Amino acid sequence: MKKEAITTYLSDLSRAMLAPIYVLPLVGFVIAIGAAVTNPGIVELLPFLDAPFFKGMGEVLVWSTLSVLINLHIIFAVGISMGLAKKDKHLAAFNAMILYFVYLYTMNTYMKFNGLLIDGDLGGTGQATIMGLQVVDTGVFVGMLIGVINAYFHNKYSQKVLNGALSLYGESRLVLIIILPISIGIGLLFTHIWPPVQQVIFQFGEDIRSAGSMGIGVYGFLERILIPTGLHHLLWVPMHFTDLGGCQMIAGQSYCGVENIFLAEIGDPDTTRLSSSIIFDSRSLVKIFGLTGAGLAMYHCADADKRLKVKAIVFPAIASSILVGVTEPIEFSFLFVAPILFVVHAILTGVFMSLLAIFDIVAVGKGGLIDFIVYNVPLGTEKTDWPSYLFIGVIQLVVYYAVFRMLITKLNLKTLGRGESEMKLHNKADYQAKQQNQTIDSAAGQYNSAAIIEGLGGKDNIVDVQNCYTRLRVEVRQPELVNEAIIRESNPMGVVLKGTNIQIIFGSHVASVRQEVNHQLHVMA
């Protein structure tokens, strides 16, 4: 039971991390546009961009959005507090902001008083200037820690009402009173304990990166294989946003983490070529090419009389993976019926990321095709190797198709449309009708929120309803009351039961499902 509780909490934490992370694609788009406007190659093709107005706007776009990367620590503190809070999320977020300021000023004052501040260039010293204050650079770690601690005490005490003269200090203010000394203590403690921890983290990251293609391949395999558990965010978030992914000085500012570094490099005109560490974020390779090959293999392996139905469900899933990088619809279409294919999928992901490292092919590959074009094409072929990246992708598509088709046929795997496969299928007309209905007012009940609520054991059994990018994440009081068969009447792509933590996979429209479920719960109140 204890192990189950830990797994559930880690799953909740990984979901909470998504709130700050979802901001970054928009930030990256704006940085890419600003970099394109000031790119010498594009300016040469479009001379009007050489005007002071466009130059100035390009600089504004780059630096205004780089501010998000520079201040990710407080964004994580607020985002995680908000994500983990069960009630009054806005108050939890407000407290987190206050607590982070208290921590920051505590550390700076303490270091100044004890003569611990380093003079001159801070690059490589372990210190950095954050929001105008020189402190020990903990990256996003302390922001995450403050978010977790704040959410814990918020959930425990934010509903506690004090009586008499102390009534003013109840509820969320009581939480703030409890955590203020903790935040001060973190500022004092981390001044001394973080530098050696920082060295260990940095060395571990160096070991991964020094392993070259092997290290990148293992990372790629683990990032995929953890997706069914929902814990993959706990792997790639540290690599992308902390010292684990390395640190680099760019335009006089220190950036730590793979994603922070390459987004800063995109906006830096003095960067002639993106760092090789970007290969750790080559997810678009499998999103655009690998899963396309897998989907086509499943389609061609389906029984002849069922291919039209399979096409209606597989092709839209392939399109969502290619265009916007949403992979779970296609991945979960074979995960539940043929888990061996998912293991092979994870292995092939690691293998092809290793190939990128072997040939030192760098390109911005964080999302789908739209992201890929916006990020890479304006940078030309000097900063990135995007034509070679696409070439490797085509090879990956062919390999995925051949391997998946061979395994499906040789092992007689019951993927979509094969034999008596139990996965529910739709013909093209059904699918189009469903997509059209999903654009109608959610109050109409097209997601069958009643079945979801009933299957979860009813309103009184539901503690909290949230969502990540593709999954409805629900916490229930009594897991034995959950009826998976009733939940499946809402036509999800899959259901994952983890004790009190229930995950229902719906795909990219999951936010609409959450809104409708919460609306129905409010109506039932």
Q: Are 327 and 469 in contact (CB under 8 A)?
A: no
Q: List every span in the chain annotated with CATH 3.30.1360.60.
A: 449-524
pLDDT band (50, 70, 90) for residue 374: confident
Q: What was the pLDDT predicted at 276?
A: 84
pLDDT of 5 > 80? The answer is: no
Q: Which residues contact 63 (CB under 8 A, 6 or more apart)?
A: 267
Q: Compute the average pLDDT of residues 124-131.
A: 80
The per-residue pLDDT for range 249-289, each reduced to its tens digit, is 887 777 888 888 888 888 787 888 888 888 888 888 888 99
Q: What is the pLDDT of residues 26-61, one digit of tens each?
A: 777 777 777 777 776 677 677 788 788 888 888 888
H or E element at residue 176 = helix 172-210
Q: What sign has the CA pseudo-torsion 292, 298, 302, 306?
A: negative
Mean pLDDT of the region 408-431: 62
The Cα–Cα gap between 238 and 143 comes to 12
Residue 442 has pLDDT above 50, yes or no: no
| CB-CB neighbours of 277 under 10 Å | 20
Question: What is the reported pTM?
Answer: 0.61
Identify the pLDDT of residue 345.
Answer: 93
CATH topology of domain 449-524: Gyrase A; domain 2 (3.30.1360)
Mean pLDDT value across residues 300-305:
87
User: Which DSSP state fits 249?
Assistant: E
Q: Alpha carbon of 203 to those of 31, 142, 213, 260: distances in Å?
A: 30, 19, 18, 19
Which residues are catalytically annotated?
Answer: 468
Across 430-462, b (16+ Cβ under 10 Å) vs e yields ebeeeeeeeeeebeeebbbbbbbbbbbbeeebb
pLDDT band at 524 (very low <50, low <70, confident <90, very high): low
Q: Is the CB of residue 362 less than 8 Å from the CB of residue 273?
A: yes
CB 502 within 8 A of CB 434: no
**109-112 own/partner pairs: CB under 8 Å, 24+ apart:** 110/187, 110/188, 110/191, 111/135, 111/136, 111/191
* Single-letter amino acid, residue 444: A
- pLDDT tens digits for range 239-248: 877 777 777 8
Question: How buried is 374 (Cβ within 10 angstroms: 0-12 exposed, 13-18 middle, 19+ buried)?
Answer: middle
| DSSP at 117 | P
Lowest mean pLDDT among 89-98, 307-316, 319-328: 319-328
In 3-state terms, what secondary structure has residue 472?
A: strand
Q: Which residue has the tokens 């109506």?
A: 523
Environment class of 33 (CB within 10 Å of its CB; exposed 0-12, middle 13-18, buried 19+): middle
